[in-house]
Every structure is written in C-alpha cells, then in structure tokens.
Amino acid sequence: MRTSHVAELLPRMMRELGLDPASVGLAHPEVFIALQVACDLCEDVGQCRRSLREGVAHQGYELFCLNAPLLKALGAAPGESQRYRLRKAILATVPKLRALALSICGNIDDADDLVQETLTRGIANLGVLEDEGDVVRSLSATLRRVAHSEQKFAWPAAPHGDAYGMEQDEAVSQHDPATAMEALRRVLPRLPADERVALMLLLGQGLSPEDAADVVGASAEELEQRTERGLAKLATLLSPAARALI
C-alpha cells in the first residue's frame, strides 16, 4: 500500500455500514484486497475521515467512496431479490477478474489496480443483469478493454536471447520448483498474449475451462486449443531440466 490511511479508515467505514472487516477478509479475501486497493487510491480521504468522525458516513458515502459498489454488495440483504442476486454475482466475479488481471499484467500490484479500475468503470454499466454469467462476461470485457487501453497494465517485456538459462537450468536440482517457476516467468512473455492468458488461467490460477472461457470471451474448446499451442511453444523455449520441474 502506498498510504497509511487504509488500515485506519477502511475498517471504520466497514463497521459504520454494519460489516465486520475480519469476517469479510475470511469469507471474501479477494474482495477485501480490492477494497484495500481502492481505499489506497482514494483522493477523498479528508471527507471520509470527517464523515466518520461526525457519524454520518453511512448517509452519504456513495458520493465520495470508491468502494461504495462493493460495500453495498457486501451489505445487501437476501430479501433484496434482483438487486441482491446482482450484488452476489459481482462478489463471486472478483476472484475470476483477479485471475484474469494477473494473467494479463504478470504481477499482483498491477493486477489489483486493474481489477479496481474495472469495478469502478464496469459496475455502473451492469444495469439489471441477473445472471452471474452475464456479470462475469460484462466485467471481464470491461477489464480487457481497460487493459488494452492502458499500457501500464501490459506484461513485462521478454528478455533478449535464446531459451531461458539453458546453460544454467540444466544443472538445477529436480526438486527445485522455485527455479522452474522463474524459468517459466522468463519465457512466458514470448508467447502470444492469448496463449499466455490461457496458460495462466487454466494452469497457473486453476480456473475450470468453462470459467476461464467466460472471462476471456472465448469457448472452452478454443481456450484448450490455445493452452495446447502455448504448451507446445514452451517446450521449445525451456530446457529439459526446467520442463521436468513444471
């Protein structure tokens, strides 16, 4: 985190709205991370602190709080019918968005920023969508558009040279997964983006073919084909020692 107000104000705001920070962190860890990222980026810290001090934050936090959509979703009551189903679907989508963002960005900090920007832009456009699949596809499409338009979210460039560390990883112990993952990280930028994302989602993040297909906007069959092509290319980029570790 870049600022110190997150640990102070976020728990206070959550308790003001009837939410227990510890319970939310346990039940929805990815959502809690998204809340922290948004709080860290907020430019209305002074207004937030004043409203909490005066005990009126619950009356107008939607006007200044970047976390308002997620906080509302967390606080929704089951009796709210359509609105409740929509908010529940948003919460269920956050882990999938985070997996997609990580496969696009290549690092956790940028992935969290990308998810938060997606939620800020995308939730307002969901309208009356009720089906969770529609919510996943809508927010995932927003995330891909944001990532495409903002170069800061691009995967780090591939290093120069031939296959990673042929002269180094041939001597690596067969029981060193950390070295294998470093080798994989170094060569992943050389794959086409669609194949890299498919590999990250299916193998790195553990999403099912159906869930991964939803977030990338392709069929499960096409996603598996991209994965196969990516694995075939990795076989030519990694030495036998590194391939054995992965």
Q: 238: how many CB neighbours lie within 10 A of its CB?
A: 23
What does the pLDDT average to over 200-221? Answer: 80
What does the pLDDT average to over 57-80? Answer: 77
In the structure, what pLDDT confidence band is assigned to residue 180 with cuts at 50, 70 and 90? low
What does the pLDDT average to over 149-169? Answer: 53
Give CA separation, 211 vs 45, 96, 233, 243, in Å: 37, 8, 24, 27
In the structure, what pLDDT confidence band is assigned to residue 128 with cuts at 50, 70 and 90? low
pLDDT score for 48: 92
What whole-number distance in Å separates Cα of residue 197 and Cα of residue 128?
30
Tokens for 67, please give them. 């976390």
189 CB contacts (<8 Å, ≥6 apart)?
106, 155, 156, 157, 158, 159, 196
* Cα-based angle 101, 35, 81 (whole degrees, multiple of 5): 95
pLDDT score for 42: 85
Concatenated DSSP letters of 132-197: HHHHHHHHHHHHHHHHHH-GGGSPPPPPSSSSTTHHHHTTS-TT-HHHHHHHHHHHGGGS-HHHHH
Tokens for 154, please give them. 């691009």
Domains of the chain from N-terminus onward? 1-72 (no CATH), 76-154 (no CATH), 166-245 (1.10.10.10)
In the structure, what pLDDT confidence band is assigned to residue 79 with cuts at 50, 70 and 90? very low
The answer to whether 159 and 173 are in contact (CB under 8 A) is no
What whole-number distance in Å separates Cα of residue 199 and Cα of residue 114?
20
Inform me whether the pLDDT recorded for 51 exceeds 60. yes
What average pLDDT does the structure give for the chain?
Answer: 76
* Cα-based angle 237, 104, 129 (whole degrees, multiple of 5): 140
pLDDT score for 186: 73
pLDDT score for 171: 39
- Comparing 46-60, 101-115, 160-174, 187-201, which segment has the lowest mean pLDDT? 160-174
